[in-house]
Every structure is written in structure tokens, then in C-alpha cells.
Amino acid sequence: MIRRRKRKPPVIPIASMGDIAFLLIIFFMLTSNFMKNRSIELEEPTSADIQEVKKTQVSVTVDRDCVLRLQGEVCDLEMLEGGVNALTKDADDKRVQLKIDKNLTKEEYIGVFLALSRANAKIVLVGQPEAE
């Protein structure tokens, strides 16, 4: 009488795959930065003379409705200098990212430049490279 061995199919334990998956999710959730400025409506100006720059800790935006924001929060022009001073006072990086809607006129944006310069901030103007 011939006895056939029952071949057991090879088993790959996959019990830990769920754990790995959840660890990866937690990793991505912790390392991704939410885009806080998505709700700010502005068109960035373009230039051929700009290059990639490092992200700064402080950001100032002036949107198409001429609303001034410091770190995403609405701010008055009079408060801008003090606010930037407070943020850059003890920081090694005194660069301030400045994003202004391309359709604003000089009288609407020049005050921001002057306020930032009085705060001794290093202004980084943000725009889009010109399409070739």
C-alpha cells in the first residue's frame, strides 16, 4: 500500500504586513507637511533670473485682494515689522519669503518691502521660473 504524503503548501506568514503598513502610514503622516497656503489666492510672477531656493521659516504673502498675511495669518502693515522682528530675532535664518500677487501695483506692495527692510529681514522674492 502506497501512502501518499500530503504536500503541505508553503506558507508565508503575512501577519506582520498589517503592522508594517500602519507604520508606513504613520511615517508618511508625520513627515508630510500640510499646504497651509492653499486657500490664499494669488498668481505668482515669473522671471528667467530665479532659481530654486531653500524654504524659509517665515513667510509673508499679499494676495490678489491685497490681504497681507504673516505665517498664513492676516496681519496689518503696521504690525508686520514687529511680527517679523519677533520671528527672526533669535533665529539663525533671517530670511523671509515674500510672495505677492503679480497684478498688484506698486502702491499696494511697496509698503511690505519697506516694512521687511526695516525689520532687517533678508527678503526672498518667490516666483515661477519662466516657461522656455
Partner 1 sequence: MKSKRRLQLTTEIDVGAFSDIAFLLIIFFILTTSIIRISGQQLDLPTGEQSKEKQKENTLTIYINGARIHYGEADNAPVVSLLELRTRLLEADLKNKLDSKERMVILDSTKDVVYDLYFQVVSTISNAGGILALVEEDVKGSGEEKGQHDSAS
131 touching partner 1, by CB under 8 A: no
**What minimum distance in Å lies between the beta carbon of 29 and partner 1?**
8
Whether residue 94 contacts residue 87, with contact meaning beta carbons closer than 8 Å, is answered with no
46 touching partner 1, by CB under 8 A: yes
91 touching partner 1, by CB under 8 A: no
Any idea how long the chain is? 132
104 touching partner 1, by CB under 8 A: yes
Distance CA 77, CA 83 (A): 10
Q: Which of the ranges 2-10, 11-19, 70-78 carries the binding residues for partner 1, by CB under 8 A?
A: 11-19
Binder to partner 1 among 45, 57, 71, 82 (CB under 8 A)? 45
Distance CA 101, CA 63 (A): 5
Q: Which of 63, 58, 62, 108 is nearest to 84 (CA)?
A: 58
Whether residue 76 contacts residue 70, with contact meaning beta carbons closer than 8 Å, is answered with no
Query: Which residues are at the interface with partner 1 (CB under 8 A)?
Result: 14, 17-18, 21-22, 24-25, 28-29, 32-33, 35, 45-47, 49-55, 94-95, 97, 100-107, 109-110, 113-114, 116-129
